[in-house]
Structure 1
Amino acid sequence: MKSNSLENLRSEIDSLDQKIQLLISERADLAAKVALVKQESKTQTAFYRPEREAEVLSKVIKRNKSLLKDKDIALIFREIMSACLALEQPLKIAFLGPEGTFTQEAALKHFGHGVSPLDCGTVDEIFHQVETDNAQYGVVPIENSSNGVIGTSLDMLYSHDLNICGEVEIAVAHHLMMQDQSQEIKVIYAHQQALDQCHRWLANHYPNTELRPVASNALGARMVKDEPNAAAIASKVALNIYGLQRVAKNIEDNAGNVTRFIVIGKDEVPMGMNDKTSLLVVTKHESGALFDLLEPFKDNNINMLQLARHPIPGIKWEYLFFIDIDGHQNNDNVKDAISKIKSKVSKLEILGSYPIAVL
C-alpha cells in the first residue's frame, strides 16, 4: 500500500513536471516574439530591462503561497527569465575573476546562468570592458556591511562615464583553505577586503603568518592549489572549484557579513516599482556646505540610504560624497532636491537610478 501510494505521488509529480515544462516552453516562445518586435521596432529598445525584471520577481514573491521560501521561488523564476532573455539577446557580463569569486556569484544571482560571463582581473578592467562594448554590463562590489564603501569602485565611478543599472547583495562567508591541511601555513593569500574582514580571527590563530593581498580571493585559491605551505581565504565555491582542503570555515569577524554589488552599464533605467538613486557630490569649501547638501533631501521628504566620504583620486585633501537615496531621478521630489543641490555644490553627478535589490 505504501509503495502504491509513493508510486502514485511520483506519477503526479511526473505529470506536473510535464505541464511545467510545456508552460516554460510557451514562455520561451513569447520571449522570442518579444525579441522580434524589438528588432522590428524603429526606435531603439533595450533587450534587458532591469525595472521590468524587478517587477516580475516582486510579483512572483507577492504571489507565493507555497511551501517554498520567497527567495527560492524567485530564484527559480530568475533562471527561467535568464534563459528566455538569452533567446532575445545573450548578455555578456564582466565580473572580477577568476572563477569562484563573490563577484561572479553576485553576477549569476542577478542575471541568472543564461548569460556569458567575462572574467576580468581588476575592477578597472570591468569598467573598460563595458566602456568598449566588449560586455553589456559589469558587476563590481560597492560596499560591505563590515568595512563600508569600496574605494576602488568609487574611484572608477568617479573617472568613468557609466551608469549604475542595478544592485545585488551577497552574504559573505570566508573559509581558510589549502592543498594539504597537514602542512604548516607560512603564507595566507586573500583580497585586502577579506583580510580586513577576518582580521581578529587571523590575529588570534595565525599571528606570525605572512598575509599577502591579491586581486581576488579566488585568485588566491587558484594560486595555493600548486603552492605548498600556503593557504587562501575564499568562498565555499572556490574551495570546490580548485579542489582544496578546508582548514577552517566562517572565519569572518562579524556574522551576517554582506557585500553589496552594483551593475554598471550604458543605459539609463526607467522608473520602476521601488527605485534607488546614487549620486556623487563634491561640496564647496565653505561654512554650512554639508547642511546645504542635506537640507533639500529633508525638505522633499527623501530618505537617504547612504552617505559616505571618499578621497578624490589624485587631489590631496579633497573629498567626494557617495550618496544613495530612495526614489528615481525622474520623481518630482528627487528632481527638485537635485536641482537645489546643484546650485550649492561644486559638482553633482547622477550615477544612476535603478531597482532596489529584490533577491
Structure 2
Amino acid sequence: MAKTLEELRIEIDALDKEIQSLIGNRAELASAVAEVKKTSDDKSSFYRPEREAQVLRKVIERNDNPIKDKDMAHIFREIMSACLALEQGINIAYLGPEGTFTQEATLKHFGHAVSTLDCASIDEIFHQVEKGNANYGVVPIENSSNGVIGATIDMLYSQGLKICGEVEVSIQHQLMMADQSKEIKVIYAHQQALDQCHRWLENHYPNIELKAVASNALAARIVKDEPNAAAIASKVALDLYTLERVAKNIEDKAGNVTRFIVLSKEEVPSSNKDKTSLLVVTKHEAGALFDLLSPFKEQDINVLQIARHPMPGIKWEYMFLIDIEGHQQQEHIQKALAKVSDEVLNLIILGSYPVAVL
C-alpha cells in the first residue's frame, strides 16, 4: 500500500535530522583537522584547492541518485565552505560592487561562508591580496566572446601572485530599470557587456545613448534612482537592487562564458587533474613561435590555449598566455618548460591548479 503524504513527510523529517547530524560530525572533524594543523609544523593555509577539487570530483563520480551531478557537488561545496569557516575565516577580494559576475564566480568557487571584499578595479584586487588584506582574489581572465581580459594579463605580468584555481560562469545579460513603464533614454553597462549585446541593442534601441561604467552591478545601482535609465546586468543584480526586467538574456551569442582565476601567494600541489598557465615573451626572429611550442609536442603535452596580448607600454611587441594540461611538478612538464625557457626572452609560470569542477 502506498504511503500517505503525512507518512512521507515524517520520513523526510527523520532523514533531515540524520543529515544535519552527519554534517555536524563533519564539522567536528574539520575542527579537529584545524587543531592538528595548529599544533604541527604545517604552516600551509587551511584552504586547500587541490583537496577540495578531489573531494568534489569524488562526489560527482559516486553520485547515483536523481539529483544532478553538479547540483550534488554544489551542496557539498557549501558544506565544505561552512566547515572551512570553522577552521579558518578567509577573505576574498572580488570586482565589485555587489551583484557582479565576479562576485557570482567567487561564491560559486568558495561557497557562501567566506568573507568578501569588493574592489573597484582588477588592479586593486591584486594589491589587496599582495598586502594581505585578502587571502585570495578572483578576477576575470577571458571571455568566450571577447577573448582575454587585458587588465588581468598586465597585472599577472607585472605582479608576483600565483593562480591557484579557476571557475567558469555562464554570462546572461538582462536589461532592467526601476520602472519599465518609463521611456528609456540612456543605457548603462560595462563596456564588455555593451559589446556582447551590440547587435541586440542596435535592433531594439538604435538611437539610445549608451554609457560605459566600471561594472554592470554599478550600472544597476545607478538606474535604481534614475527613472529614464536602463542597465545591462545579471539576474543577481536585478534581484539585489529590486529592479524590473525589461528584456531577458539579451547577449548576442548564446553560451557566452567568462573564465575567472583565483589569485594566491602560494603554489598548489597536484590534484591529479590540473592545468598550468604561462606568460611567455618570444624572441624577435623567424620561427620563434614554432620553437616555443615544439617542446610541448615533444613531451606529448596538450596545449589548451594560446592567446596573444600586447606588452604593456611597448608598441608592436607581444607576449603569449598559454595554458597547458598537467602540473608543473610533473617530470615531463618540467622538461618541456626547461626547453621553452632556453628558447624565449622571458617565461613566467603563473601557477598550476585544479581544472574547474563546478
The answer to whether the superposition gives a TM-score over 0.5 is: yes
Once the two structures are overlaid, the 10-residue window that deviates more, 203-212 or 121-130, is 203-212
Map 1:241-280 onto structure 2 (within 5 A): 241-280=240-279
Q: Distance in 1 between matches of 2:228 and 2:138?
A: 33
Q: Distance in 2 between matches of 1:329 and 1:221?
A: 42
CA displacement 1:18-60 (0-9 Å, x = unmatched): 1111110000000000001111112412211000000000000
Q: Distance in 1 between matches of 2:113 and 2:273?
A: 25
Please name the residue that 1:287 is paired with.
286
User: Aligned partner of 1:152: which letter?
Assistant: A
> For structure 2, which runs of at least 5 residues remain unmatched after alignment?
none
Map 1:173-212 onto structure 2 (within 5 A): 173-212=172-211
CA-CA distance at 1:297 after TM superposition: 0.6
Please name the residue that 1:344 is paired with.
343
CA displacement 1:62-106 (0-9 Å, x = unmatched): 010010000000000000000000011011001111111110000
Please name the residue that 1:115 is paired with.
114
CA displacement 1:199-242 (0-9 Å, x = unmatched): 11111111111111111100100011011211110001100111
Q: Distance in 2 between matches of 1:153 and 1:207?
A: 32
What TM-score do you get using the length of structure 2 for normalisation? Answer: 0.98
Please name the residue that 2:331 is paired with.
332
CA-CA distance at 1:129 after TM superposition: 0.6
CA-CA distance at 1:183 after TM superposition: 1.7
Please name the residue that 2:227 is paired with.
228
User: Aligned partner of 2:244: which letter?
Assistant: Q
Please name the residue that 1:309 is paired with.
308
User: Aligned partner of 1:340: which letter?
Assistant: K
CA-CA distance at 1:10 after TM superposition: 0.7
What TM-score do you get using the length of structure 1 for normalisation? Answer: 0.98
Please name the residue that 1:298 is paired with.
297
CA-CA distance at 1:182 after TM superposition: 1.7
Q: How many residue pairs were aligned?
A: 358
Q: Distance in 2 between matches of 1:60 and 1:42?
A: 30
CA displacement 1:325-348 (0-9 Å, x = unmatched): 000011111111100010110000
Please name the residue that 2:354 is paired with.
355
Q: Distance in 2 between matches of 1:159 and 1:103?
A: 22
Please name the residue that 1:66 is paired with.
65
User: Aligned partner of 2:77: which letter?
Assistant: R
Q: Distance in 1 between matches of 2:296 and 2:157?
A: 22
Secondary structure at the aligned position of 1:158 is classed as helix
Please name the residue that 2:17 is paired with.
18
CA displacement 1:154-200 (0-9 Å, x = unmatched): 11111111000000001110000111112221211111111111111
Secondary structure at the aligned position of 2:347 is classed as strand
Secondary structure at the aligned position of 1:226 is classed as coil
Q: Distance in 1 between matches of 2:312 and 2:44?
A: 36
Q: Distance in 1 between matches of 2:34 and 2:206?
A: 57
Once the two structures are overlaid, the 10-residue window that deviates more, 227-236 or 51-60, is 227-236
Q: RMSD of aligned C-alpha atoms?
A: 1.0
Secondary structure at the aligned position of 1:343 is classed as helix
Secondary structure at the aligned position of 2:4 is classed as helix
Runs ≥4 residues deviating over 3 A: none
> For structure 1, which runs of at least 5 residues remain unmatched after alignment?
none
Q: Distance in 2 between matches of 1:187 and 1:299?
A: 55
Please name the residue that 1:7 is paired with.
6
- 1:47 correspondence with 2:46: yes
Secondary structure at the aligned position of 1:18 is classed as helix
Secondary structure at the aligned position of 1:177 is classed as strand
